[in-house]
Every structure is written in C-alpha cells, then in structure tokens.
Amino acid sequence: MNKEIPPCGAYVIDSRTGTVSQVIGHTRDFTFVRLRQPGGGREWSCPAASAQTTTLRAYLRVQVSEINNRRRIV
C-alpha cells in the first residue's frame, strides 16, 4: 500500500473508532502512528492505514452540523 504517512502534528481520524486525534509520533517502520486527542489524554497506536488525514476545522464543522440537526429534530 502506498499511502502517505501523516506527519507529526497533523490531525487525523482513526477510522477504527471515528476519533479525531493529532499525530504525535510514528514507529520506525511507519506502520503505526501514535495519536492523542487534541485536548490531551492517553496516547494510543493506530495502524497508519487507518489514520485518515483531516483538519481539525473540517472535523469540528461536521460535529457542529450533526448537533444542529439533532436540535431541529427534537
């Protein structure tokens, strides 16, 4: 697989959980990235193939849209 590995500091979505996170490191062979949520917390490893590059702004836009839609339904 020839997928670009996100650099440290990039925002990604762990496609296994849907969690937005920030890349804080890589394994030596670049098969895994180390992630942490933007507000802090525990780090975790994610296969590089499951880290979908995004921007924090794009992620937050989707979250706000979903919240607004839920408010309209109620």
- Domains of the chain: total: 1
Q: Which carries the bigger pLDDT value, residue 17 or residue 67?
A: 17
CATH assignment of the domain containing 48: 2.30.30
- pLDDT at site 66: 77
State how far the Cα of 63 lies from the Cα of 2, in Å rounded to an integer: 30
Query: Does residue 18 lie within any of the structural domains?
Result: yes
Query: What are the b/e assignments for 16-54, b being 16+ CB within 10 Å?
Result: eeeebbbbeebeeeeebbbbeeeeeeeeeebebeebeeb
Domain extent at residue 24: 11-73
- pLDDT at site 1: 43
Phi, psi dihedrals of residue 36, rounded to the nearest 5°: -150, 145
Query: Does residue 43 lie within any of the structural domains?
Result: yes
Query: Does residue 1 lie within any of the structural domains?
Result: no
Query: Does residue 19 lie within any of the structural domains?
Result: yes
Q: How confident is the model at residue 2 (pLDDT cuts 50, 70, 90)?
A: very low
State how far the Cα of 13 lies from the Cα of 23, in Å rounded to an integer: 10
In this predicted model, what pLDDT tens digit does every residue of 18-70 receive, in sequence order? 888 899 999 999 899 999 988 788 999 999 999 999 888 887 887 788 788 87
